[in-house]
Amino acid sequence: MEIDRDGIAALFAARGRLAYDGEGITQWQHAWQCGELARRAGASPPLQLAAWLHDLGHLMTGLVDTPTLRGHDDRHEALAEQALQPLFGPAVARPVALHVQAKRYLVATRPGYRERLSADSVRSLALQGGPMTPQDCEEFAQQDHAQDALRLRAWDDLGKRPDWQPPPDAAAALRALMRAVSP
């Protein structure tokens, strides 16, 4: 599925109000919260943009209610990577591609991480292959942008606050960030 910068903005405008996987917030809230957490953490513009757009694949498929409840993995990270690579290059596309694997890595390597995951994240973990084996962990960590994916994952886990709303200029901020990042 091909999409350009205007298409991304249009997808959020059309579907951003849809629910984010069983978390009591919208896709737009989650996207903005993750981007905002990345900005506050001093992340580079490409990594901020990756945080904003990491779940774009959910909007692209439209399977945005709670697909994991039906035992469905929509492979949203791969869909988003394909869309983002030609527009913004690997510094955006790869952390997005790896954000699901990053969860499997963190469950395997960080004591206590699994206990802090939301119910939907635990449910989707099984569909996504469960915790990584030690060898999978080693291979994961050696990939380009693996560390960025782990940072993104932390924002992904934190960006699920029902009480935290995007400001009115959030859509303009996303457009400006997209204009500032090129491959």
Chain residues in the site for Fe ion (CB under 5 A) = 55, 156
Q: Which is nearer to Fe ion, 3 or 25 (CB)?
A: 25
- Tell me the HSE value of 62 on the side-chain side, using a 13 A CA sphere: 2
Candidates 15, 42, 32, 43; CA nearest to 148 is 43
Q: Which is nearer to Fe ion, 36 or 156 (CB)?
A: 156
Residue 115 Cβ vs Fe ion, minimum distance, rounded to whole Å: 19
Residue 52 Cβ vs Fe ion, minimum distance, rounded to whole Å: 11
Residue 58 Cβ vs Fe ion, minimum distance, rounded to whole Å: 7
Residue 19 Cβ vs Fe ion, minimum distance, rounded to whole Å: 12
Q: Which is nearer to Fe ion, 119 or 138 (CB)?
A: 119
- At CA 45, angle to CA 22 and CA 178, rounded to 5? 75
Residue 103 Cβ vs Fe ion, minimum distance, rounded to whole Å: 9
Candidates 178, 156, 173, 118; CA nearest to 33 is 156
Sign of CA dihedral 117, 126, 93, 106: positive
CA separation for the pair 177, 39 (Å, rounded): 11
Q: DSSP string covering 34-85, please?
A: HHHHHHHTT--HHHHHHHHHTTHHHHHH---S-GGGGT----HHHHHHHHHH
Q: Which is nearer to Fe ion, 55 or 81 (CB)?
A: 55
Q: Which is nearer to Fe ion, 119 or 182 (CB)?
A: 119
